Amino acid sequence: MTRKEFVLITAIFAMLVIMVFASGCLEQRCVECDGTGTIPRELRYQVTDSRGFWKGVHFWIVVTIKNIDDTAGTFVVVGTMYDDNMSITESSEARIGRGVTQDIHVYLGAEMPGGGWYRYYVVPEIIHPACPECRGTGTVSVIPFSL
């Protein structure tokens, strides 16, 4: 074996060793997702309409929600009806597909014949999409290029 062949084989072997060890040794925890591989967030939505109404002696709240996220998910509407002496809180949920608009009906009972006022809030599902920085692995390479 000549000296040139020896240097070439040694260089190739050294590059292989660097590729094998660098793939695991030169990685650090992703700072975007703190090493979990996902970034939890709420589903994005838009309330397009809300109304409260009496139907006979029963009070209802209807909230129209549009899921503007690219993922289907569950939305909960929590409604509370108040009068001077008491309050009633109930909730209802629905699974809404991406881009879909849907009504969620919350029945608040008939205990308050005097009326009163109401409030509601929406609780969207928490989803866990893959981190865009580490592509869901939880680690990022500290070398500036890919081997």
Could you tell me the CATH number of the domain that includes residue 107?
A: 2.60.40.10
pLDDT above 70: residue 22: no
Quote the domain boundaries for residue 95: 41-127
Does residue 146 lie in a domain region?
no
Both 106 and 56 in one domain: the answer is yes
Q: Is the same domain home to 23 and 71?
A: no
| pLDDT on residue 57 | 76
Q: For residues 143 and 136, what is the distance between their CA atoms, to the nearest angstrom?
A: 18
Q: What is the pLDDT of residue 122?
A: 96
Q: Distance between terminal CA atoms of the chain? A: 29
Number of domains into which the chain is organized: 2
In a shared domain, residues 110 and 65: yes
Q: Is 61 in contact with 117 (CB distance < 8 Å)?
A: no
The answer, as to whether pTM is greater than 0.85, is no
Q: Are residues 60 and 120 in the same domain?
A: yes
Residues 119 and 71: their CA atoms lie apart, in Å, by 27
Find out whether 70 and 80 touch, Cβ atoms under 8 Å: no
pLDDT in tens, 71-114: 999 999 999 888 777 788 999 999 999 999 999 999 987 666 55
68 in any annotated domain? yes
- Domain assignment present for residue 147? The answer is no
- Verify that 31 and 75 share a domain, yes or no: no
